[in-house]
Amino acid sequence: MENQRAYEYRGFDMIAGVDGDHEHGFFISSQRIRSLTEDLTAEVPIDGIAAGRFRHQDNAFDASFDRMRDAIDKQVTTHH
């Protein structure tokens, strides 16, 4: 069952979904960003630091938010 957490960063909501268990590990099942000021919602690829299985659920969420912050930084840089 997917657990979700959301945080705000640089004018975007970041929503991460993590699934799995302690026996088999945790994995990122969804990542999306939503602009708080523009009509922009995007799925963020589950790759790089966000790929694979994690021993702890918190580690999976940390990796997901790191990956989404990188995507937001690139989005903000290309639009300013």
pLDDT of residue 1: 87
Return d(Cα 51, Cα 28) in angstroms, integer: 7
Kindly tell me the burial class for residue 74, based on how many C-beta atoms sit within 10 Å of its own C-beta (0-12, 13-18, 19 or more): exposed
pLDDT band of 78, cuts 50, 70, 90: confident
Return d(Cα 77, Cα 61) in angstroms, integer: 24
Q: Which amino acid is located at 73 in the chain?
A: D
**Number of structural domains found in the chain:** 1
pLDDT of residue 80 exceeding 80: no
Backbone angles phi, psi at 77, to 5 degrees: -65, -40
Per the structure, the complete domain to which residue 11 belongs is given by 3-79
pLDDT of residue 79 exceeding 80: no
pTM for this model (two decimals): 0.92
